[in-house]
Amino acid sequence: METLRVRVRRGVEASDLPLPEPASEHASGADLRSSEAGILQPGEIRAFGTGLSVEIPPGYEFQVRPRSGLALKSGVTVLNTPGTIDADYRGEIRVILYNASRVPFEVRRGDRVAQLVLAPVVRALWDEAECLEETSRQEGGFGSTGVR
């Protein structure tokens, strides 16, 4: 497993909270904790702060992803998944949560609300073309290969 150092700054609101860390030896993501408390009503979308800012090395991004247990057990997920944190962003990491359940969900300060995955970035160089190579699928999309 490759590792890469990332500088992190904790705001006052997160000074006593643990830094993101993987929950198991082979976990690809590190758990992000909310530095804010609040009630997320059914159908509500709200950004929760983490109190953390990062300095990501050029050529990498952080992806903010849902925690599967939170989604399965409580119906709460990260709405814009994966959320992207670019290498030149220095503001606070905030997590956009969505409550897809029918009951209010309490977010407590220090709760693990998402996971953060460091990923390499590959940029596309666009070559404009008059036509594209044919495939067996062609323009079929949105279920064209079957729904089951």
pTM: 0.88
Half-sphere exposure of 113 (CA within 13 A, CB side): 28
Percent of the chain at pLDDT > 70 equals 99
Tell me whether residue 83 is annotated as binding.
no
Tell me whether residue 99 is annotated as binding.
no
For residue 106, which of 65, 81, 70 has the smallest C-alpha distance? 70
Tell me whether residue 7 is annotated as binding.
no
Tell me whether residue 85 is annotated as binding.
yes
What is the predicted pLDDT for the residue at 147? Answer: 65
Residues paired with residue 84 on neighbouring β-strands, in sequence order: 63
Tell me whether residue 69 is annotated as binding.
yes
- State the average pLDDT over residues 26-37: 96
Tell me whether residue 93 is annotated as binding.
no
List, for residues 59-110, the tens digit of each pLDDT value: 999 999 999 999 999 999 999 999 999 999 999 999 999 999 999 999 999 9
SS3 39: strand
Tell me whether residue 102 is annotated as binding.
no
> Which domains are seen in the chain, by residue range?
7-120 (2.70.40.10)
- Mind giving me the DSSP string for 77-99? EETTSSEEE-TT--S--EEEEEE
Pairing, β 45-49 against β 94-99: antiparallel
